[in-house]
Structure 1
Amino acid sequence: MPRLSVWMVRAALLHLGTGFTVGGLLLFNKGEPFDTGVWALLQVHVDLLIFGWIMQLAMGVAYWILPRFAQPPKYGRTWLAALAFGLINAGTLISAGGQWAGSSGWTLVGRAAILLAGLCFAVYIFPRVKPMEFVTPPGR
């Protein structure tokens, strides 16, 4: 597995653990209410799991598993994928922090970074998405 895929999957797992912890706190508060302000963390929970875990895990696996180029560089313009990795993590943390603090400005900045991450990764991965080539066995 390429190094960038490893980092994406590891970061996705960190977001999963953090998102589940926040979700567990919300669930505990639902059964045994201790603070009404905990519900402000609901959107943080959603951001961490949707963007931090699911989207980043999909990007990491796509980087690893989609066909590589025959000629070097075999992974293409990897700087775009690395930029997407940085943007999605920064955007998720900024957006979650903005939601937690109640700052719509920071939330918007974080969401813009997540959008840019998606665009960077789409531009990076598009040339690697190819139709399957069928090879007929000799003698048929």
Structure 2
Amino acid sequence: MPSLSVWFVRTALIYFASGFTVGALLLIHKGVPLSPLIWRLLPAHIEWLFAGWMLNLVFGVAYWMLPRHGIEPIRGRLWLVRSVFILLNTGILTVSFSEIFFREITFIVIGRLMEAASAIGFAIHAWPRIYPFGQYQVR
């Protein structure tokens, strides 16, 4: 497994653990009221599980598993996938911390734009690596 895929998967597992921990805290709060402020964690819980866990896991496994090119660099443009990793996780953290602390729509929009840019960047990276079975082309 390439090191960048390892980073994606490890980051996904961190979001998974964080998201489910916050979810457990929210469920405990339903039975034993802790603080009314705990509900401010709900958007971060959703963001960490849907965007953080799922997208990091999908991008990491796709980067690893998609067919390789026949020439160097065999997995495509490394700088683009690194940018995707940085944009995705910066966007997730921007959205989640903005939801928890500021509730400022500007930061939420900026974070969502970073997440969208990461998805577009990964699609640009992965597109040349997707082709029908048996029709491999050296690029």
The answer (yes or no) to whether the contact 1:68–1:75 under 8 Å persists in 2 is yes
Corresponding position of 1:138? none
Corresponding position of 1:109? 110
- What is the letter of the counterpart of residue 61 of structure 1? V
Corresponding position of 2:31? 31
Residues 74-85 of structure 1: pairs in structure 2 closer than 5 A: 74-85=74-85
Residues 61-76 of structure 1: pairs in structure 2 closer than 5 A: 61-76=61-76
The answer (yes or no) to whether the contact 1:97–1:107 under 8 Å persists in 2 is no
**Deviation for aligned residue 1:68:** 0.2
SS in 2 for 1:131: coil
CA distance in structure 1 between the aligned counterparts of 2:49 and 2:23, rounded to whole angstroms: 10
Residues 1-140 of structure 1: pairs in structure 2 closer than 5 A: 1-101=1-101, 102-133=103-134
CA distance in structure 2 between the aligned counterparts of 1:92 and 1:133, rounded to whole angstroms: 38
**Deviation for aligned residue 1:78:** 1.4
CA distance in structure 1 between the aligned counterparts of 2:45 and 2:36, rounded to whole angstroms: 16
SS in 1 for 2:68: coil
- What is the letter of the counterpart of residue 115 of structure 2? I
SS in 2 for 1:96: helix
The answer (yes or no) to whether the contact 1:98–1:105 under 8 Å persists in 2 is no
**Deviation for aligned residue 1:20:** 1.0
Q: What is the TM-score of this pair, normalised by structure 1? A: 0.92
**How many residues of Structure 1 are paired with residues of Structure 2 in the alignment?**
134
CA distance in structure 2 between the aligned counterparts of 1:54 and 1:11, rounded to whole angstroms: 10
- What is the letter of the counterpart of residue 17 of structure 1? A
Moved over 2 A (4+): none
**Deviation for aligned residue 1:51:** 0.8
Structure label with greater radius of gyration: 1
**Deviation for aligned residue 1:107:** 1.3
Aligned-pair identity (%): 40
- What is the letter of the counterpart of residue 48 of structure 1? W
SS in 2 for 1:67: coil
Which stretch has the larger CA shift, 26-35 or 57-66?
A: 26-35
Corresponding position of 1:137? none
Q: What is the TM-score of this pair, normalised by structure 2? A: 0.92
